[in-house]
Chains A and B, each alone.
Chain A
Amino acid sequence: MRSETLEIPETRTRLPSSRALRTLGDFYARRLGNRMLITNDWGHHASLEPKQFEDFVHGRLKTGDALWHELKNKGFIKGQQDFKALAELFKSHNAYLWRGPSLHIIVLTLRCNLKCVYCHSSVVGADQTQFDMSLETARKTVDFIFSGPAKSFTIEFQGGEPLLNWPVLKFIVEYARQKAPITGKKVTLTMVSNFSLMDEEKLDFLLQNGVSLCTSLDGPAAVHDRNRIYLGGNSHQSVAHWLKAVMNRKNRAGALMTTTRLSLKHPREIVDEYRRMGQTQIFLRPLHYLGFAKRSWKTIGYTDEEYMSFYREAMDYIISLNKEGHTFHEAASAMLLSKIIKHADPGYVDLRSPCGATLGQVSYNYNGEIYTCDEGRMVAADGDKLFKIGHIDEDSFNDIVDHPTTKACCTASDTEGQPLCQSCTYKPYCGICPVLNYATQNTIWGQMPTNSYCYLFMHMFDYLFERLAQPESRRVLESWVGIKDSAVKPACLGDIKV
């Protein structure tokens, strides 16, 4: 039997002295390349050289030095923290804790005319009209949404393909627009559609009523049409046509990209296709182990490492485009950056602590069933109604908030209660998805060491912090969240070359 001897380099580990500990505010640390990243619960971060980190940990920073000042202002130096300002900062990037559910997803129908290989929604055939939402259920759903606490919220039309239930979609738009001024609430309407059933009249109605439009675009036709199969036509062609039509009306429709195994080899081509279509951003999204994707994982799935390699290549390309003067960004990264460098809550319900289940978003099925979130509804489409929290005919808004499943999701997704998360450097910016934990690991708590969601975000954060430590890339990433030129150059960056 072969054996291997591991040589462990000699290191000297010294714990900080008790005097040094008196100067250290709570912080998390992670080695990234040849630097140490430190973060704290206020949402601040700093990237330190090893010597700077050692001086910080052992209380050897000189009071008054630029680095000492920076770390003091960021709440890393104990006894020097401005708690009022830091608390304001915490409130700013965790604003969702004070807002209540602000995303309401209405599934107008389970019917769809496309047969996407990864469909997470487990849709039914276009002829099965028994899976459409009725006008009465639609009216009750809108009343229910308006009974919630948020003064400003979004109603998102989902499916299936929402345009297959056009009369009900139209009714909800008009009813919600009529109800908003009466209740003093601000409602934003948005529709996610494959555009295959769009026509001029529908587009006019949607744009005139301020409905934001979003479609799916997986890349060039060779990728898109193989992922999103449309037996009645060409799905890429209809997306291209209507994206252009919206632009011709001086408006803009967004697009979402889902990554399959086929996409992995084409990061640059996919980004270029988005630019060709006039998009200024792309939202790179991995597959979720839900719905049809779960069943066809062997054919279309991939490892977490493969996805991250795709993400890194696409991101490097996007950053290089920016350096050449093109305006284009990646949406998921921009949302993470919003938390990291702008200390703002981007309203991203999938990445918060506790998660958005009921407390940030609610999903309403075609038949009046209410779910914690759209992913919870997708699990139900596979026959497991664990995440059902009520019914539009039977429950009030407070009932769904008080539902045991809401509380279980809230507890399970609080990073303060999750081993590894509670001591993770990325805790101030991250979140947990109990539904994906349940779908992949049979428990809403999940087990982070083998958790895909954790792996992907951990590596996305790694990538972003690596790039933030590179001055030129940092300028690009800052521009994605509206920061033109940092007024103050972080002292910890110094003049180093990374």
Chain B
Amino acid sequence: MRFKLDQDNSEIGFIFNLKTYRKEALYGAGLVFSDRAFIFVEPNGPHHLRITLQSKKPAGREFLCALAGEFHNELLSQTLRWMVARHNKKTKEAIQAQALFAAHAQPQPAISNGKKS
């Protein structure tokens, strides 16, 4: 993976290959990093996207390189998570639905103190 640092070390960019990672992984990683960086996504040919990470805080070269490295780890993590979620979808849904269902209070008639029933 090649990274491109801009001259004043305020952002770092790379090309995202849609054949290597799923787009869902990019959205997931983008969300995880949204507290640390602005994430810009631009088209770059039919199978590639240009991603730019711009640090929200003043950053140096080292920080930006680490940010890009961590972003790529997160891309892998998100890809794997997506695969696992898809593979175990039915089991997950059954368990979560049961847990949420059991936690619901029995339907109650409306009460007068302003609470919803």
Contact with A along B72-85 (1 / 0, CB 8 A): 00000100110011
- B32: contacting residue among A416, A419, A443, CB under 8 A: A443
Any chain B CB within 8 A of the CB of A305?
no
Say yes or no: is B105 at the interface (Cβ < 8 Å to chain A): yes
A-B contact count (CB 8 A): 82
Which of A101, A353, A393, A422 has the most C-beta atoms of chain B within 10 angstroms of its own C-beta? Answer: A422
CA distance A68 to B77 in the complex (A): 38
* B91/A396 in contact, CB under 8 A: no
User: Do A148 and B92 touch (CB < 8 A)?
Assistant: no
In the complex, what residues of B have CB within 8 A of residue A397's CB? Answer: 104-105
Known contacts A359-B99, A411-B96: A149-B106 contact under CB 8 Å: yes
The majority secondary structure among interface residues of chain B is: helix
The residues of B that contact A394 with a CB separation of less than 8 Å are: 115
B7 part of interface (Cβ distance < 8 Å): no
Task: Check A100–B115 contact: CB distance below 8 A.
Answer: no
**Chain A interface residue count, Cβ-Cβ cutoff 8 angstroms:** 35
Q: Which of B92, B104, B114, B117 contacts A416 (CB 8 A)?
A: B92
B20 at interface (Cβ–Cβ under 8 A)? no
Which residues does A use to contact B, with CB under 8 Å?
Answer: 96-101, 147-149, 353-354, 358-359, 393-399, 401, 406-407, 410-411, 414, 416-419, 422, 442-443, 445, 447
Residues of B within 8 A of A406 (CB): 100
What is the bound-complex CA distance between A353 and B95, given in angstroms? 9
Report the Cα distance A147→B111, complex, angstroms.
11
- A442 to B92 alpha-carbon distance, docked (Å): 24
Interface residues of B in 61-117 (CB under 8 A from A): 77, 80-81, 84-85, 88, 91-92, 95-96, 98-100, 102-106, 108, 114-117
Q: Which residues of B contact A149 (CB under 8 A)?
A: 102-106
Q: Given A354-B96, A396-B115, decide whether A416 and B105 contact each other with a Cβ distance below 8 A.
A: no
Can you give 29 contacting A-B residue pairs, CB < 8 Å?
A96-B99, A97-B99, A97-B102, A98-B102, A101-B103, A147-B105, A149-B104, A149-B106, A359-B100, A359-B102, A359-B103, A394-B115, A396-B115, A397-B104, A397-B105, A398-B105, A398-B116, A401-B103, A410-B100, A411-B96, A414-B92, A414-B96, A416-B88, A416-B91, A418-B81, A419-B80, A419-B81, A419-B84, A442-B32
Q: How many residues of B contact A (CB 8 A)?
A: 25
| Contact for A419 among B77, B98, B106, CB less than 8 A | B77
Report whether B99 and A354 are in contact in the complex, using a CB–CB cutoff of 8 Å. Answer: yes
Residues in B with CB closer than 8 Å to A353 are: 95
B8 proximal to A (CB < 8 A): no
Q: Is the CB of A401 within 8 A of B104?
A: yes
B interface residues with partner A (beta carbon < 8 Å): 32, 35, 77, 80-81, 84-85, 88, 91-92, 95-96, 98-100, 102-106, 108, 114-117
A99–B108 CA distance with the chains assembled, in angstroms: 18
Task: Using CB atoms, name the residue of chain B closest to A419.
Answer: B80
| Complex contact B88–A396 (CB within 8 A) | no
B102 cross-chain contacts in A, Cβ below 8 A: 97-100, 149, 359
The answer to whether residues A398 and B104 also contact, given A417-B85, A418-B84 and a CB cut-off of 8 A, is yes
Q: Are the C-beta atoms of B105 and A396 separated by less than 8 Å?
A: yes
List the A side residues contacting B32 at CB < 8 Å: 442-443
Q: Name, among A358, A394, A406, A419, the residue most crowded by chain B CB atoms within 10 Å (CB to CB).
A: A419
- Which of B35, B95, B98 is most buried by chain A, counting CB atoms within 10 A of its CB? B95
* Cα-based distance from A358 to B102 in the complex (angstroms): 11
The residues of B that contact A358 with a CB separation of less than 8 Å are 103
Residues of B within 8 A of A359 (CB): 99-100, 102-103
A5 vs chain B, min Cβ distance (A): 27
Residue of B nearest to A393 (CB): B114
**A396-B115, A411-B96 as given contacts; A445 in contact with B81, CB under 8 Å:** yes
Whether A410 contacts B106 by the Cβ 8 Å rule is: no
* B105 & A422 in contact (Cβ 8 Å cutoff): no
Q: Taking each of A101, A416, A442, A445, which has the highest tally of chain B beta carbons within 10 Å of its own beta carbon?
A: A416
Chain A residue contacts of B116, Cβ below 8 A:
395-396, 398-399
- Which of chain B's residues have a CB closer than 8 A to the CB of A416? 84, 88, 91-92, 95
Q: Give min CB distance, A175 to chain B, whole Å.
A: 16
Q: State the CA gap A414–B84 with chains docked (Å).
A: 11
Report whether A417 and B99 are in contact in the complex, using a CB–CB cutoff of 8 Å.
no
